[in-house]
Amino acid sequence: ETGVTQSPTHLIKTRGQQVTLRCSSQSGHNTVSWYQQALGQGPQFIFQYYREEENGRGNFPPRFSGLQFPNYSSELNVNALELDDSALYLCASSSTSRPYYNEQFFGPGTRLTVL
């Protein structure tokens, strides 16, 4: 059983650029959630994908978008990067579309720095 993996590990971008982060969910899991974690803060929910459809979204602007593929891996895209987008981006997979009923398995995260 493989765990959740994310790529890349670290990324440096400049303001205005676009970035794509990738996540491979744990085997057998059909739900992926993305979180943004600023330094010293708890993770903030961005959105969730369940069976290739967006299934819930937090308070993030439309320039944050995502995809889920038939193998349940997922991408997070952020357009027009801003300095405040600098954070650790975490993805988590679970076997249910209701993560509060079950544990989520987190990847190691992608550290994004926007200059």
Please pick, from the candidates 21, 90, 112, 114, the single residue that binds other proteins as defined by CB under 8 A.
90
Residues in the chain: 115
- Measured CA to CA, the distance from residue 24 to residue 22 in angstroms comes to 7
Q: Contact, 106 vs 92, CB < 8 A?
A: yes
Cis ω for the linkage preceding 8 (within 30 of 0): yes
Site for other proteins (CB under 8 A): which residue of 2, 10, 40, 70? 40
Structural tokens at position 30? 């059909």
Minimum distance from residue 3 beta carbon to other proteins (Å)? 9
Q: How far is the CB of 24 from other proteins (least distance, A)?
A: 13
Contacts with other proteins, residue ranges (CB under 8 A): 4, 33, 35, 37, 39-45, 48, 55-56, 58, 88, 90, 92, 97-109, 111
